[in-house]
């Protein structure tokens, strides 16, 4: 309210000033007193000498006291007059009306702004009960609140009711009420009112309104229009059935599509989805580039519609003539009256994430299992914040084996979490939660230090003349923070581990970041630390980016090994990565080798450095100290002689 920022009046209705009447009465009183003194001096014998002096002194004192009283009365009258003027000025300057009610809830004062609010004359409102202007349905609640016990500490309370306008319409008025009935100088309720009646939208330009509710690329209704439509459906007929289907398209990432072709591809996808829809269904854009369908029917109908839409998405020819491999997944959920619009969309999004995790072409329905999964994620996200301080995190170490020399050359430090309620939590589950905040940097710093300390405690132990090295994954957030070099130096200094025995693993995308990232990695290499590109082959893998980059090792992602025994294309990819590393003089480590058959296949291709369950599961630090990291499986047969220059180059010893 306007008046709230300017202060409150000291009284409900300021009293009329005395205008100096008390001071004027002092004049005749002084004359009478003077006459009495002179009479006594003249008529009483023997008083003319000293009596005259005493009388004169008393008279002077009387005159002085009356003068002081007169001046005080004038100051009080002036202050009261100024208070009244300030009150009137304050109220008149307020845009919002001020209403003062007595103990019987009758209007004793109302500001002139009430005319603009309700169209009534302020003088006509004086003396009227507030109940006469309030809607009959709202009057009992409002009167009960105003007649209630006084609020403590003169706190403001907000009351809302419909009040009749002079033209007969009802206006929704919100009043901030200050209860001053307990103040003996006021004894009233002060209301600061404003009109909160929703303004009509007839003046909004329909073209602008439509534009604000339309996706500029596809021409479909945008998320704002979607929310409005869902709200209208939920407020509609209670016996109608509706459901939601969220369609997620994969392959539309910005780093895959050129900006000039992105819009054309999105419009082509929209055209495919529109043709696959039924006539009664409604398609819109959701968040993060997803599509949302309001399905006319139940959850089973939504699953059928979602399956048709997912099947409609597939390879798409771009304007440049290339083929874009698009895939889709879908999540469906019911739209009911007891679930608000935002919650329904969150349910659908959760089902979509579950479907995406299951693979392209999947359609998942939101159910209690997904709700429990969501609750579990929320609990893990909260508990992870203090897991390190509670000692719930630890490191395990998985060996990397040189199959040519039949020995372990390094170990990879892996983070594990044993939750007090959920038990062992997979890194696949909790690491993405940590990456949502700066917590991942704190954990990365701890992993670096702990891994270096553990490996340094082994001394120079190792087969032959080489000591064991340790590889540590660092997150993109930690690399981009600019703190990686200080963190590595602190870990090496605290542990005493030589820099040559530390391998820092980063993802491919980090190498495309700001120049300071490349500079930091270059500094680490100059210190003797080796840099490995983790999950190589899942991102932008290209010679154009790899040449000249400060890297020493490539780690081939385990997804290359899916069905590698039976899929010739997978085997060709494995050979291509080996050839790429050999052409750059970089050794390649293959992750996820879990069976002797895959081990033999990779060995025959010429791959030399392998890691996986076929050799050893991750080892606890205690087993590592006992020398278990030197163990390896019996190889099926001797390594055959390299059959090509490429394979010969790939069999070079992993650089120290």
Q: Supply φ then ψ for residue 412, to 5 degrees.
A: -105, 130
600-629: pLDDT as tens digits: 899 888 889 999 998 888 989 888 777 665
Q: What is the pLDDT of residue 638?
A: 39
Burial environment of residue 546 by CB neighbours within 10 A (0 to 12, 13 to 18, 19 or more): buried
Q: What is the pLDDT of residue 339?
A: 80
Q: Any idea where the domains of the chain sit in the sequence?
A: 3-92, 98-195, 206-366, 380-650
Write down the H helix ranges in 481-535: 484-495, 515-527
Between CA 29 and CA 67 the distance in angstroms is 12
Q: Are 603 and 593 in contact (CB under 8 A)?
A: no
Dump the DSSP string for 593-646: --SHHHHHHHHHHT--EE-STTT-PPEEHHHHHTTGGG--PPPSSPPPPP-SHH
532 - beta bridge partners? 505, 553
Between CA 173 and CA 177 the distance in angstroms is 12
417 - beta bridge partners? 393, 425
Q: What is the pLDDT of residue 206?
A: 60
Q: Which stretches of the chain drop beneath a pLDDT of 70?
A: 1-59, 62-63, 77-95, 150-155, 198-211, 237, 253-260, 461-466, 512-515, 537-545, 627-656
Whole-Å CA distances, 438 to 294, 381, 490: 38, 13, 19
pTM for this prediction = 0.55
Between CA 151 and CA 541 the distance in angstroms is 70
Does the domain at residues 98-195 carry the CATH identifier 3.30.450.20? yes
Q: What is the pLDDT of residue 361?
A: 92
Q: Matching CATH topology for 206-366 and 380-650? A: no
Q: What is the pLDDT of residue 207?
A: 60
Between CA 518 and CA 456 the distance in angstroms is 27
Q: What is the pLDDT of residue 178?
A: 84
For 598, residues 6+ apart whose C-beta sits below 8 A from its C-beta are 561, 564, 565, 614
Q: Domain 206-366 is classified in which CATH homologous superfamily?
A: Reverse transcriptase/Diguanylate cyclase domain (3.30.70.270)
CB < 8 Å & 24+ apart, contacts of 318-324: 318/257, 318/261, 318/264, 318/265, 319/260, 319/261, 319/264, 320/258, 320/261, 324/251, 324/256, 324/257, 324/265
Q: What is the pLDDT of residue 466?
A: 66
Q: What is the pLDDT of residue 51?
A: 57
Between CA 103 and CA 113 the distance in angstroms is 23
- DSSP code of residue 541: -
> Under CATH, which number does the domain 380-650 receive?
3.20.20.450
Token digits for 605?
């291709």
């Amino acid at each position: 309210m306007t008046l709230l920022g300017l202060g409150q009046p000291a009284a409900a209705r300021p009293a009329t000033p005395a205008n100096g009447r008390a001071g004027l009465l002092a004049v005749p009183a002084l004359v009478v007193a003077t006459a009495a003194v002179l009479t006594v001096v003249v008529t009483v014998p023997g008083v003319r000498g000293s009596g005259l002096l005493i009388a004169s002194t008393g008279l002077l004192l009387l005159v002085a006291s009356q003068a002081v009283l007169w001046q005080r009365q004038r100051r009080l009258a002036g202050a009261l007059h100024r208070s009244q003027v300030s009150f009137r000025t304050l109220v008149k300057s307020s845009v919002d009306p001020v209403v003062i009610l007595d103990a019987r809830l009758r209007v004793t004062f109302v500001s002139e702004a009430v005319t603009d609010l309700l169209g009534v004359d302020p003088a006509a409102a004086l003396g009227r009960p507030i109940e006469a202007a309030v809607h009959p349905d709202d009057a009992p609640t409002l009167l009960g609140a105003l007649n209630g016990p006084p609020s403590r500490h003169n706190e403001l309370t907000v009351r809302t009711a419909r009040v009749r306008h002079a033209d007969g319409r009802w206006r929704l008025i919100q009043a901030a009420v200050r209860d001053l009935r307990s103040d003996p100088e006021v004894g009233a309720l002060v209301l600061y009112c404003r009109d909160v009646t929703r303004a009509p939208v007839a003046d909004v330009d329909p073209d602008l309104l439509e534009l604000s509710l339309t996706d500029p690329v596809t021409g479909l209704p945008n998320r704002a229009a979607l929310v409005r439509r869902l709200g209208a459906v939920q407020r509609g007929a209670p016996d109608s059935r509706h459901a939601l289907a969220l369609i997620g398209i994969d392959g539309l990432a910005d780093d895959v599509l050129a900006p000039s072709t992105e819009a054309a591809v999105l419009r082509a996808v929209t055209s495919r989805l529109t043709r696959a829809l039924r006539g009664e269904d409604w398609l819109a854009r959701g968040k993060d580039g997803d599509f949302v369908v309001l399905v006319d029917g139940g959850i089973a109908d939504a699953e059928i519609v979602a399956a048709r839409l997912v099947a409609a998405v597939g390879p798409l020819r771009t304007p440049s003539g290339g083929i874009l491999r698009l895939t889709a997944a879908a999540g469906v959920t019911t739209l009911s009256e007891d679930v608000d619009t935002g919650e329904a969309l969150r349910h659908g999004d959760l089902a979509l994430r579950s479907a995406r995790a299951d693979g392209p072409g999947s359609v998942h329905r939101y159910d209690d299992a997904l709700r429990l999964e969501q609750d579990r994620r929320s609990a893990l996200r909260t508990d992870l914040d203090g897991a390190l301080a509670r000692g719930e995190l630890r490191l395990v170490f998985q060996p990397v084996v040189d199959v040519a020399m039949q020995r372990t050359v390094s170990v990879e430090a892996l983070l594990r979490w044993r939750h007090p309620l959920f038990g062992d939590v997979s890194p696949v589950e909790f690491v993405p939660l940590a990456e949502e905040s700066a917590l991942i940097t704190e954990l990365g710093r701890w992993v670096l230090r702990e891994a270096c300390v553990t490996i340094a405690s082994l001394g120079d132990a190792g087969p032959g003349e080489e000591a064991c090295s340790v590889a540590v994954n660092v997150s993109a957030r930690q690399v981009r923070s600019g703190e990686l070099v200080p963190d590595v130096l602190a870990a090496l200094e605290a542990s005493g581990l030589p820099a040559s025995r530390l391998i820092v693993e980063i993802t491919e995308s980090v190498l495309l970041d700001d120049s300071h990232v490349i500079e930091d990695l270059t500094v680490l290499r100059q210190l003797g630390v080796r840099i490995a590109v983790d999950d190589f082959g899942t991102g932008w893998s290209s010679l154009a980016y790899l040449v000249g980059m400060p890297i020493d090792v490539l780690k081939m992602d385990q997804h290359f090994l899916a069905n590698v025994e039976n899929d010739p294309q997978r085997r060709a990819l494995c050979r291509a990565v080996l050839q790429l590393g050999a052409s750059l003089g970089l050794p390649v480590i293959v992750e996820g080798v879990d069976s002797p058959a895959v081990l033999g296949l990779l060995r025959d291709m010429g791959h030399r450095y392998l890691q996986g369950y076929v050799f050893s599961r991750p080892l606890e630090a205690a087993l590592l100290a006992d020398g278990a990291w030197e163990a390896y499986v019996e190889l099926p047969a001797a390594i055959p002689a390299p059959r090509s220059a490429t394979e010969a180059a790939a069999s070079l010893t992993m650089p120290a």
